[in-house]
Structure 1
Amino acid sequence: MDVTVTDLPDQCRYEATSADGVVGVLEYRRQDGVIFLNHAETALAHRGKGVAGQLVLKAMQDASEQGVKVVPVCPYVRDWVSQHPEWG
């Protein structure tokens, strides 16, 4: 699925958008050089199309570039990280 993932720091979330509008979000909290990935959610019509994975990948890439530690609070994010050991 063709989506664009954008970090919206003033809202503490990443948004995945497509021609249908916002199709997924990943909410987070930052504190002392750590980003807590709290909750990922995909719109019902877009589940199973890799949207949540794209959100988590973008968050992990940004964290790596910024040199911050990631704490995967959300069960989906924990599963994603366990399936992608290169980001562990």
Structure 2
Amino acid sequence: MSSEAPARAIRHDEAAHRFEWTEDGHLCVLDYVLDGTVASFTHTGVPAAVGGRGIAADLARFGLDTARARGWRVRPVCSYVAAFVRRHPEYQDLVV
């Protein structure tokens, strides 16, 4: 795995209920709504100008890892996050 790019320093903006990363001046986000201990991941946004770089996958992974660390269950409302969870069975136990 040493050939992988370094991990992005994704920021968790708890007040805005979002995970975010800025790539080449473009804000990329994963938004969520927290209801008790259930996080509904509602939207993944990566501008086309920086698409195809694995940013959405990194945001999803970071959001899911945060959910696990905080004891949250996950409702993948966003189609990207739902597909990500299907492709990564290690996160399926988080799904409500």
- Which residue does the alignment assign to 1:17? 22
Counterpart in 2 of 1:54? 58
Question: For 1:17-50, what per-residue CA distance to the aligned partner results, in whole angstroms no more than 9, with x for missing partners?
Answer: 23x2344100100011110000001011111110
Q: Structure 1 residue 40 and structure 2 residue 78: aligned?
A: no
Runs (5+) with no aligned partner, structure 2:
none
Report runs of 4+ in structure 1 exceeding 6 Å deviation. none
1:30 to 9, 29, 34: 34
State yes or no: 1:85 paired with 2:80. no
With normalisation by structure 2, the TM-score equals 0.83
Q: Which runs of 5+ in 1 are unaligned?
A: none
Partner of 1:76: 80
1:28, 1:39 within 8 Å by CA — same for their partners in 2? yes
Structure number with greater Rg is 2
**1:4 and 2:20 aligned:** no
Identity %: 31
Q: CA RMSD in A?
A: 1.4
Structure with more of its chain in strand, by fraction: 1
Secondary structure of 2:84's counterpart equals helix
